[in-house]
Structure 1
Amino acid sequence: MTHEDFEDVIDALDDVLEAEREALLIGNLDEVGRLLERKESLIDQLSQLELASREPLEALNSKVERNQALLDHALEGIRSVARRLAALRRVRSSLETYDEKGARHTIDVTPESNVEKRA
């Protein structure tokens, strides 16, 4: 493999990392998933090439770390939404009250749905 091959893979990986960053910033997680396959392929190619210089790899590493931080924040946001939706489901299905001693009581509230079919 030549030095040009190394540079081509570095440039392609840099482009993928920038596209991944943009997708993370706008919340396009589908695009992040699509880019993952390309990124893995380029990393495999890079591991098979001879190391021409450490500098491009260090720059890529900082971009990988930046994107990982963005991805961690996106995942935390998703988890937060999931927790909030679970809390809303609990509110719809039960009512929590407290007695004069501070003990919690849960009252299940299940909507009765009757479907009547008429001809």
Structure 2
Amino acid sequence: MTDDTEDRIIARLDTLLDEERAALLDGDLGRIGAGVDEKERLIDALNAVQDRQNDLAALQAKVVRNQGLLDGALQGIRSVAARMASYRQIRRSMETYDSRGRKHTIPGEVARTVQKRA
């Protein structure tokens, strides 16, 4: 691989990582997914490079930074999913305790049916 080709790959990956960071900060998960294939292709091309460790160290720092942001985004999504599950549970029933500490369940949604009589 020529130095010019390596420089272009490194520059494109650098730009792509900056774009990924911006998408993570904006919460635009669709934009993140769109660049995954190109990022994998560029990283595979760089794996063949042995003598460019200084250039690759800066890229590695960006990859680590973006990974931390992505981990935070995933944690946020899990938190929202857990919160939504709590809300669904509350709609179905609510648990309370009386003065003696006994648990009581209050049903949330009442199924209503209509009976036809002849």
User: TM-score under structure 1 normalisation?
Assistant: 0.87
Give the alignment of 1:57-72 within 5 angstroms. Answer: 57-72=56-71
User: TM-score under structure 2 normalisation?
Assistant: 0.87
Q: Distance in 1 between matches of 2:75 and 2:31?
A: 18
Q: CA deviation at 1:80?
A: 1.0
Q: Distance in 2 between matches of 1:113 and 1:74?
A: 41
Q: What amino acid is aligned across from residue 26 of structure 1 in structure 2?
A: D
Between stretches 98-107 and 21-30, larger displacement belongs to 98-107
Given that residues 3 and 52 in structure 1 are in contact (C-alpha distance below 8 angstroms), is that contact kept between their aligned partners in structure 2? Answer: no
Q: SS where residue 52 of structure 1 aligns?
A: coil
Structure 1 residue ranges, 4+ long, deviating more than 6 angstroms after superposition: none
Partner of 1:34: 34
- What stretches of structure 2 of length at least 5 have no aligned partner? none
Q: Percent identity of the aligned residues?
A: 46
- Per-residue CA shift, 1:57-107, capped at 9, x if unaligned? 000011001101111111111111111111111111101011333233323
Between stretches 64-73 and 92-101, larger displacement belongs to 92-101
